[in-house]
Amino acid sequence: MMQDVDSPIAASRLDTKIMSPAIGVEVAGLDLTQPLEDSQVQELRSLLLKHQLLVFRDQALSSAQHIAFARRFGELEVHPVFPHDPDYPELVLLGGDSTQPGRENLYHSDVSWRAEPSMGSILRCIECPPAGGDTIWCNMVLAYENLPHHIKDVLHELEAVHDLLPGFIDRISEEERAAIRERFPAQTHPVVRTHPETGQRILYVSSWTTHLANYIETGFFRGMPELQSGAHWLLQYLVDQARHPEYQVRLKWQPHTLAFWDNRSTQHYAVQDYFPSPRKMARATIIGDRPY
């Protein structure tokens, strides 16, 4: 059953502060180190559907508490490439240090290369640089809504391929690549997906997208392979929609800040402007369902 994000069930009884007109709300009035009541979990779910990004300040969670909070919203994945917390494989460790810059500075939706991509991610700041290291989120519902009508007409049948391997090729040894490819084959998802809870239409291509799968099999382009080059232009145009400031919010991290976002309807970008200062983050990722 679809939920109206503006219905009374989506209204919050918590102390909330809008972060931007497009996306994001800061939430106060909860201690996330303590177990949540079912009603609080439902309230946060409703807020997430309405605002797409929830930010909590001054939440000094341990790894165990981080995992416990995330599990209230679904089963958690184990990432096949990123380093993990030694005690909690569901908790990936992100960020750079004085020898290695962070590499999350591209617009993306987490693990869209899975057959069932993430529902949401919960990222905790462990150590922040003295300046910089912000994260940008983008509302991809707005990105779709504001596309020209003639572009929307082209997209309704299109599918795109999302692939893990190109983005991680230098982190996976040659000996391991065949096994990774077998476990995680490239996935084809609709260019415009439907949010399974709100029914909203979402532009769903990002830096994980390698190409459009069926460009010359659909619509105006059917049976005209000489127009294949247009697929590259169209994909780049669509990927670039996440860069519009009008669809974005930018979060300045502080230690013990927690961000919880809907991976189905957003993209994010971790700004790499702090090297060689350290930036240490931990992320739990909630398993979702297959896009349609």
Q: Which of 45, 66, 79, 110 is catalytic?
A: 110
**Residue 35 DSSP class:** P
Annotated active-site residue 183? The verdict is no
- Which residue is associated with the tokens 């109206």? 4
Establish whether 85 is a catalytic residue.
no
Q: Note if 97 is an active site residue.
A: no
What single string gives the DSSP state of each residue in 79-137? Answer: -SSS-B-SS-TTEEEE---SSS-----S-B-TTTTSSS-EEEEEEEEEE--SS---EEE
Q: CA dist 247 to 50, 106, 192, 250, Å?
A: 15, 16, 17, 11
Q: How far apart are CA 148 and CA 168, in angstroms?
A: 34
- H/E stretch holding 161 reads strand 159-162
The span from the CA of 63 to the CA of 80, in Å, is: 19
Number of Cα atoms under 13 Å in the Cβ half of residue 73: 28
Rounded to whole angstroms, the Cα distance separating 256 from 264 reads 25
CA–CA distance, 267 with 206 (Å, rounded to integer):
8
| Whether residue 162 lies in the annotated active site | no
Token pair listed for 265: 């309807």
Return the bridge partners of 137, or none. 249, 268
The SS3 assignment for 149 reads helix
Catalytic residue selected from 66, 108, 193, 264: 108
Q: Which amino acid is at 48?
A: L
**Active site (catalytic) residues:** 108, 110, 268, 283
